């Protein structure tokens, strides 16, 4: 609340001075209103919702079921920290050629689009993360699978023959 104090001086005779009005404003209601508004906005704002990637895993069965996939319809991708290696065929085969690309739009995405167009719906991607790969690299590669419309992919641990192929290539 605001108060105005009108103290005009003493009641003695003499000159009359003009009265100075001094104001005193009580800021307590304003502070209360500020805290109420801060509390209201904190409780009503939507915080950043976590973004979750849906990953469907096969059911565990008692017996090992293996699905046969043709090597001509499979591309093995080995993500690393800055580059992506890929090959078609078996890693210990002498005719297998390891190639290198990156995570850009003209890199692995173009390769996945071309393979999908050439092979069709039976195109399968086998992802084997290298030792230097980060979690972000796997997410980037799974995003590329989703962008290119490839729904058939498998995530496996890297085997020694694939590691040896990467080391021998010198890429």
Q: Write the CATH number for 119.
A: 3.30.420
Decide if 135 is inside a domain.
Answer: yes
Decide if 6 is inside a domain.
Answer: no
Report the pLDDT value the prediction gives residue 32, as an integer from 0 to 100. 92
CB within 8 A of 12, min separation 6: which ones? none
Report the pLDDT value the prediction gives residue 6, as an integer from 0 to 100. 57
Helical residues (DSSP H) of the chain, grouped into ranges = 28-44, 108-119, 135-147, 160-169
Digit-by-digit pLDDT tens for the chain (171 residues) are: 555 555 555 556 667 777 777 788 888 889 999 999 999 998 888 777 777 767 666 667 666 666 677 787 888 898 887 888 888 888 777 777 888 888 877 888 888 888 888 888 888 888 888 887 888 888 888 888 888 888 888 888 888 888 888 887 776
Which residue, among 144, 154, 141, has the nearest Cα to 57 in the 3D structure? 154
Decide if 76 is inside a domain.
Answer: yes
Decide if 116 is inside a domain.
Answer: yes
Decide if 156 is inside a domain.
Answer: yes
What does the alpha-carbon distance between residue 20 and residue 162 come to, in Å, rounded to a whole number?
91
Report the pLDDT value the prediction gives residue 67, as an integer from 0 to 100. 66
Domain residue limits at 155: 71-169
Decide if 94 is inside a domain.
Answer: yes
CB within 8 A of 79, min separation 6: which ones? 127, 129, 130, 133, 137, 138, 140, 141
- Domain total in the chain: 1
What does the alpha-carbon distance between residue 15 and residue 59 come to, in Å, rounded to a whole number?
101
Decide if 1 is inside a domain.
Answer: no
Decide if 34 is inside a domain.
Answer: no
């Amino acid at each position: 609340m605001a108060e105005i104090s009108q103290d005009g001086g003493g009641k003695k005779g003499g000159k009359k001075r003009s009265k100075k009005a001094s104001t005193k404003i009580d800021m307590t209601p304003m502070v209360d209103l500020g805290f109420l508004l801060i509390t209201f906005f904190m409780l009503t704002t939507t915080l950043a919702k976590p973004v979750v990637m849906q990953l469907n895993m096969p059911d565990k069965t008692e017996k090992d079921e293996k699905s046969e996939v043709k090597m001509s319809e499979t591309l093995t991708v080995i993500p690393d920290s800055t580059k992506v290696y890929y090959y078609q065929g078996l890693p210990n085969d002498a005719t297998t050629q390891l190639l290198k690309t990156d995570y850009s739009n003209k890199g692995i995405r173009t390769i996945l689009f071309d393979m999908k167009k050439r092979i069709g719906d039976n195109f399968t991607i086998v992802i084997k993360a290298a030792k230097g790969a980060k979690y972000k690299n796997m997410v980037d590669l799974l995003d590329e699978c989703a962008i290119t419309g490839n729904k058939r992919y498998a995530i496996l641990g890297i085997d020694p023959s694939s590691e040896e192929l990467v080391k021998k290539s010198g890429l």
